[in-house]
Each structure stands twice: as C-alpha cells, then as structure tokens.
Amino acid sequence: MGLAKTEMFTDHQNEISLFAKVFGHPARVAILQQLFKIDACYCGDLVNEIGLAQPTISQHLKELKHLGLIKGNVEGTSVCYCIHKENWTAMKTVMFEFLNQDLTQKQDCC
C-alpha cells in the first residue's frame, strides 16, 4: 500500500518513527550537520554546500521545520535557518530512550 498503519501503534512509537524518518535521508543529515557547524546558515549557502537544486533543499528544510527541529528567520530576501535548540533537546530525549534500551539483561537466543 505504501501507507503506514499508524493507528495500530502507540503515539510514542509513531513519534520515534517520525523523528527517525526525517533523519532517514542523507541530504537532511547534511543540512543539520551544516547548521551545527556554521553560524550563518542561509538557504543559499546550503544549496551551494550540498549541491542539490534549490527547490529540493527548500523541500527538505520544510520537513525539518515541520517537525520543529529547525527554525527560519526572514532577513530581507534571505532566510536564515538554525537548529531549534529546545526541540532538538526534547527529540534527543525521545530517541535516546529508544536507543538506550537495556541489553545487559537479555538472553541471547540466537
């Protein structure tokens, strides 16, 4: 079908998968790494840095913004993007809890 049956899963499971999904494309990983690296973070800079077309970068930025992980500030004709610190930290809490599930108690059945 191509359609995840989200109603079958908990809100928590859906939240984890939504965060993970946005990291599931190397362009968005590259955008985020660049935003962590530099202070001036204009859309055009990201286009030059990453090498995808402007509409493509703009689309990836939109997804990151939609999840609240970045925010954009209009400065004349430019738009300056940066990490949304509070939301990034909140996302980390969710992802860390998932990734850090206890392995030490597990029997290795295989």
Partner DNA sequence: AATATTAATCGTAATATTGCAATGAACTAA
Partner DNA sequence: TTAGTTCATTGCAATATTACGATTAATATT
Residues of this chain that bind a copy of itself (CB under 8 A): 4-6, 8-10, 13-14, 16-18, 20-30, 32-33, 36, 39-41, 50-52, 71-73, 80-83, 85, 88-89, 91-92, 95-96, 98-103, 106-110
DSSP for residue 6: G
Shortest CB 91 distance to a copy of itself, Å: 8
Q: Could you tell me if residue 2 is left (phi over 0), alpha (psi between -120 and 50 degrees) or otherwise beta?
A: left
The DSSP string of 10-28 is -HHHHHHHHHHHHTSSHHH
By the criterion CB under 7 A, which residues form the site for DNA?
1-5, 21, 24-25, 27, 42-44, 47, 52-63, 72, 74, 76-79
